[in-house]
Amino acid sequence: MPRPILATIHTQALRQNLQRLRLAAPDARVWAVVKANAYGHGIERAFEGLRSADGFALLDLAEAQRVRALGWRGPILLLEGVFELRDLELCSRLDLWHTVHCDAQIDMLAAHKTTVPMRVFLKMNSGMNRLGFRPEHYRSAWSRLNALPQVDEITLMTHFSDADGPKGVQAQMATFAAITHDLPGERTLSNSAATLRHTLDAQHVAAQAQTLVASDWVRPGIATYGSAPDYPLHTAADWGLQPTMTLAAKIIATQDLSVGDTVGYGSSFVADKPMRIGVVACGYADGYPRICPTGTPVLVDGTRTRTVGRVSMDMITVDLDPVPQAQMGSVVTLWGRAANSVVLSIDEVAASAGTVGYELMCGLAQRVPVEVTD
């Protein structure tokens, strides 16, 4: 028998989350962001749940090839654009739209031999300071691109650094608007946090700015996968998002502890009362963060309890006091949805590990078998 651990991808939840994002930006087209192998879900596994998107956004050419191999004929956008000249050949062959964020990429386009002009997304660095042309150089980049026979439509793009926090999107949006107001073409600005927090929230954004955040194309990633982009300000449930990945394993042993007994490496947990613990077939080699301290929430048979002691490579240990009926074979939900429909948000587990849901999803280990359900 294989080791009793399983990740489940919930197709219906992906569909519903996408629908939820459409409600937040009803006039926009929606990119399903599937970079990092669909945030660890697996592009092929997530595809069915995401096929109602208007396009797929990602950054790896091999991943773009996989989306085409699934039969997707619609738009695919390379969020970082190409890395070298010959990538453009693949873009032409697979009809990929690509971001242009620096002069070197314009040089590559100018050197690219194609008879079919390409659709490009010109990225402005409006404050994030990762990719993009600085505002003062944006218009000359646009003119240069626009003059190339290799270039078809130019979409105007930027990315927010603080859509999930108190700083918000105002300053970057104002910069973007000031530079681009009279340029033709579609716009794309918003990630999950901006789409959920700053599109319909008229109290925070002036009417004109609101249109800009929701404009033409939105690019939600994390919310599609059922994680709140601004946790703990809001939870996924607050946003009406459902978990799309469940990680569950079984109890493979139990131990009865006496006062003073310790658990696991480093004896970091000491029983202060007689208690029963379960040993679970999931460890850091499965993608469960080793840094999760005693007290990290888990569900045993759908009942909330906590981890005790250190996470090891292949096992964790959990407090069975709240679930006296638990035994070998009982199902432990590390994140996601239990059989009784109780949800343990990946954001809560991530917070225990001092990180975000993104990292946990993306870190699901290769050795964990994955099943796709409705």
Ligand X SMILES: *Cc1c(COP(=O)(O)O)cnc(C)c1O
Looking at the DSSP assignment, which residues form a beta bridge with residue 255? 277
* Six token digits for residue 186: 């579609």
Q: Please, which of residues 48-87 interact with ligand X by CB under 6 A? A: 79
User: Which of 45/219 has CB closer to ligand X?
Assistant: 219
Closer CB to ligand X, residue 32 or residue 326?
Answer: 32
Pick from 222, 316, 326, 343: which binds ligand X (CB under 6 A)?
222
For the question of residue 167 being annotated catalytic, the response is: no
Q: Is the peptide bond before 149 cis (omega within 30 degrees of 0)?
A: no
Compare residues 101 and 250 and give the one whose CB is closer to ligand X.
Answer: 101
Q: Which amino acid is at 85?
A: L
| Catalytic hit among 35, 138, 225, 288 | 35
- Give me the 181-220 binding string for ligand X, x by CB under 6 A, dash otherwise: ----------xx--------------------------xx
- The site string for ligand X over 134-173 (x = CB under 6 A, - otherwise) reads -------------------------x--------------
User: Apex CA 9: angle with CA 6 and CA 10, to 5°?
Assistant: 130
Comparing CB distances to ligand X, the nearer of 40 and 309 is 40
The secondary structure of residue 116, as a DSSP letter, is: S
DSSP H helices in the chain: 11-24, 35-39, 43-50, 61-69, 87-94, 103-111, 135-146, 170-180, 192-198, 207-213, 346-352, 357-362
DSSP state at residue 346: H
Q: Which of 42, 55, 127, 221 binds ligand X (CB under 6 A)?
A: 221
Q: Which residues contact 75 (CB under 8 A, 6 or more apart)?
A: 31, 54, 55, 56, 97
**Least Å from the CB of residue 358 to ligand X:** 7
Number of residues interacting with ligand X: please give it, by CB under 6 A.
11
Minimum distance of ligand X from residue 35's CB (angstroms): 6
Residue 31 near residue 217, CB atoms below 8 Å:
yes
Nearest approach in angstroms of CB 264 to ligand X is 34
What single letter denotes the amino acid at residue 303?
A: T
Question: Is residue 37 within the footprint of ligand X (CB under 6 A)?
Answer: no
Segment near ligand X (CB under 6 A), from 137-145, 221-229, 246-254, 255-263?
221-229
What DSSP string describes 202-249?
Answer: TTTS-HHHHHHHTSSEE---GGGGT--TTTTTS-TTTTT---SEEEEE
Please tell me whether 128 is known to bind a ligand: no
Whether residue 149 contacts residue 118, with contact meaning beta carbons closer than 8 Å, is answered with no
**Shortest distance in whole angstroms from residue 314 CB to ligand X:** 30
- Tally of CB atoms within 10 A around 232: 11
Spatial distance between the Cα atoms of 2 and 249, rounded to a whole number of angstroms = 11
CB-nearer residue toward ligand X: 227 or 296:
227
Q: Closest CB to ligand X among 30 and 257?
A: 30
Q: Is there a catalytic annotation at residue 265?
A: yes
Residue 19 DSSP label: H
Query: Residue number with the shortest CB distance to ligand X?
Result: 221
Query: Nearest-CA neighbor of 321 among 280, 283, 273, 281?
Result: 273
Each residue 226-245 as x (binds ligand X by CB under 6 A) or -, in order, gives ---x----------------
Structure tokens at 373: 């359900």
* 130 is an annotated ligand-binding site residue: yes
HEC-encoded secondary structure of 157-182 = EECCCCCCCCCCCHHHHHHHHHHHCC
Per CB under 6 A, the list member of 5, 33, 145, 257 interacting with ligand X is: 33
Task: Report, in Å, the least distance between residue 250 CB and ligand X.
Answer: 31
Which residues are annotated binding-site positions for substrate? 130, 313
Q: Catalytic amino acids?
A: 35, 265
Binding site for ligand X (CB under 6 A): 33, 35, 79, 159, 191-192, 219-222, 229
